[in-house]
Structure 1
Amino acid sequence: MTSPTAQRKDDHLRLALAQHDAVRLRDTDHVRFVHHALAGGSSSSVSLGSPAFGWPVPLYVTGMTGGSERAAEVNRGLGIVSRETGLPVAVGSMGIVLREPATLPTFTVLREENPDGFVLANTNANVSGTEAAQLVSALAADALQVHINAPQEVAMPEGDRAFDHWAEAIAEIVDSVEVPVIVKEVGAGLSRGTVAMLRDLGVGGVDVAGRGGTDFGAIESARRPAGERGYLAGWGQSAVTCLIEAGDLPGVGAARGAAGGVALLASGGVRNALDVVTLLALGADAVGVAGTFLQVLVSDGVDALVALVQGWLEEIADLMALLGARTVADLRSTDLLLTGPVREVAELRGVDVAAFARRSRWSQV
């Protein structure tokens, strides 16, 4: 018999797939590169290595699922894809393993398919440091994602209603595990102040995980009998605006070369290679993808997703060559035009948007 938690995870998969819409506008559509016709380089000279954790590519599969038979098949597929492409990959929330140990194989199947790759365990901020270490060990994980998701919990019928202990819990987890801790939102973004606090708590990375991708406010509302609390759909900030306001924080962003710097990751509504390069140019050290990859995996299978990822990596290198960026760090010196609602939010948050348009040497003449 399926447990309520396992059923909820299957509901999340079903509703997330139903949300997928590659056509809908995202905030990345309001960020444009200034074209400098003689700035280009060569794709063969581009290095795709990410400053984050020594990853071979600036792209990773962020946490999605686990805890049910259907979720196990998704994780099996993601393990194969990550093995074949070199992408780091995260499992979904493993909290269910602490309550229902029999569900552990639905997560470890990913590690079994990718024994030598970079795999991230995943938990919420309600576990103890000892429990977090147990989950890392069970997956032989290279890092731990800790997701914080207050808007989702408020929308969720059976969700938590107390969040005031999360900072203290994250600090305990950081002290208790022997791998980097990466704190991420699940679609509502991390503000500048939140990123600064997480930096001070000693985390190894943050994923701003903004609005525009899978909308858990909408998902949890859809799980309610009459769709109550639907007003929480679309809550929060996009990854674009989060990066714009947090990208210059001291000690944040491995691409800035800061000793012991906190890796700055971004995810939320990534549809294609241009979205990836845009987020990298805004300051991300690597970009996470969930919904787009999940849709291809479920609809077309493992081989199709492997081909898609390989195609994206080729496109990222070509776009970097077009922009004259040999490394991910170089993308932070490209000129960007912030327009429409992105510009409005940035200005309201006190950001000098004009400075983004004159970052390269081509604009200093």
Structure 2
Amino acid sequence: MTSAQRKDDHVRLALEQQHTHSGRNQFDEVSFVHHALAGIDRPDVSLATTFAGITWRAPLYINAMTGGSVKTGAINRDLAIAARESGVAIASGSMHAYFKDPSCADTFRVLREENPDGFVMANVNATASTDNARRAIDLIRADALQIHLNTAQETPMPEGDRSFGSWAAQIERIAAAVDVPVIVKEVGNGLSRQTILALVNLGVAAADVSGRGGTDFARIENGRRELADYAYLHDWGQSTAACLLDAQDSGLPLLASGGVRNPLDVARALALGAGAVGSSGGFLRVLLDGGVPALIARLAAWLEQLAALQTMLGARTPADLARCDLLIHGDLRSFCSDRGVDTRRLAQRSSSIDALHEMTGSTR
């Protein structure tokens, strides 16, 4: 099977997952404590976010998806147009196909051609050479580089990698060799606290926890196997909410993706400590069902609704959501207990008199 055929298979199987999702994930086990006098005025709300020295107009991005075939190149073109018109950042899919076959360069280059002034991230795997990492950045004039981690995808992949021991050292080499911020991301199985603490020492700028709850690439790769005999790896890993809780105070700026279904999930992830929040499969489904205008409308609606949620919660900026009180329920609460995460602290973040006065705008 050619790389282009595999990329097209990934899109087809990812869309099938979108149509079979149950609709619930562990974001539903995170809720805001409602303070009825916390609201502020909408003109006082900003969506701008800053993390790792990077500033975006909004804390939302179209995360890594695809590229490497004619069909996926057309998808990248449409995604780039939507990102341009909406003012959100965008990431390319893995550019490994380009390293193997430079003739597919245009399927990635289109991300910059259609979005000349936007924030665009290149994407490589942890086995990429430093030269190839630079090639990926140069091809799309990337503002940042994502390095993806995907052992749970590679394991059932018929042609997958089976050598993971050198990944940490190679991430460190790439981070030292390139001139843009490096963001290490999972592909949907989550980053544990131990992994994030290890990344702190590798010179990367940020980590995208990319947890369980969205597109399941282990399931996709198992679906490409003749016997589909790795079904026990379906739903492997930690949810995005669990990863953010696990990584509290880890010292590395965090991004969040994986299972983000709506603006409330965006607000939840920001409240759990993410600097920005990405989505892939849901945006892809909107694009393929309704075209570029539908995706632009969806992105605009999410941004407007996120601003409305910030207004209700009294958060002038996305970062202020991390001061809101949160309740953790169900299995996610059990995860926190086992991992030593203090959920009481999360539930009482605005409980001091000074914080309440600031939240309500009152004076003593």
TM range (shorter): over 0.9
**2:317 is paired with a residue of what secondary structure?**
coil
Q: How many angstroms apart in 1 are the aligned matches of 2:135 and 2:177?
A: 10
Query: Structure 2, unaligned stretches of length 5 or more?
Result: 357-364
The percent of aligned pairs where both chains have the same amino acid is 52
Pairing 1:176-325 to 2, within 5 Å after superposition: 176-249=177-250, 251-252=251-252, 263-325=253-315
Q: Which amino acid aligns with 1:46?
A: V
1:134 positional shift:
1.2
Alignment equivalent of 1:346, drawn from 332, 336, 346? 336
Partner of 2:360: none
- Aligned counterpart, 2:362: none
Which segments of 5 or more consecutive residues in structure 1 lack a partner in the other structure?
253-262
SS of the residue 2:210 aligns to: coil
Tell me which residue corresponds to 1:260: none
SS at match of 2:207: strand
Matched residue pairs, number? 352
Residue 188 of structure 1 aligns to a residue whose secondary structure is coil
Letter in structure 2 aligned against 1:337 = L
Aligned to 1:57: 58
Aligned AA (2:137): V
Question: Counterpart in 2 of 1:131?
Answer: 132
SS of equivalent residue, structure 1 residue 318: helix
Q: Residue 75 of structure 1 contacts residue 110 of structure 1 at CA under 8 Å; is this kept in 2?
A: yes
Give secondary structure in 1 for the equivalent of 2:228. coil
Contact 1:153 1:161 in 2 (8 A): yes
Measure how far apart 1:247 and its partner are.
2.3
CA distance in 2, matches of 1:327, 1:99: 43
Which runs of structure 2 are paired with 1:148-163 in the superposition (5 Å)?
148-163=149-164
Alignment of 1:31-50 (within 5 A): 31-50=30-49
Return the TM-score normalized by structure 2.
0.95
> How many angstroms apart in 1 are the aligned matches of 2:200 and 2:75?
32
After superposition, the C-alpha distances for 1:139-187 in whole angstroms (9 at most, x for unaligned) are 1110011001001000111100110000000001001110001000000
Deviates more, 1:265-274 or 1:18-27: 18-27
What secondary structure sits across from 1:305 in the alignment? Answer: helix
Partner residue of 1:359? 349
Tell me the distance in 2 between the aligned counterparts of 1:223 and 1:43.
49
Residue 78 in structure 1 maps to residue 79 in structure 2:
yes
Distance 1:270 1:329 in 2: 18
Q: 1:329 aligns with which of 316, 319, 324?
A: 319
Instruction: Choose from 7, 10, 23 the match for 1:9.
Output: 7
Shift of 1:362: 6.5
Structure 2 CA distance for aligned equivalents of residues 152 and 302 of structure 1? 29
| Cα RMSD (Å) | 1.2
1:215/1:234 contact within 8 Å kept = yes
| Maintained 8 Å contact 1:36/1:362 | no
Per-residue Cα deviation, 1:257-299 (whole angstroms, up to 9, x for no partner): xxxxxx3100001110000000000000000110110000011
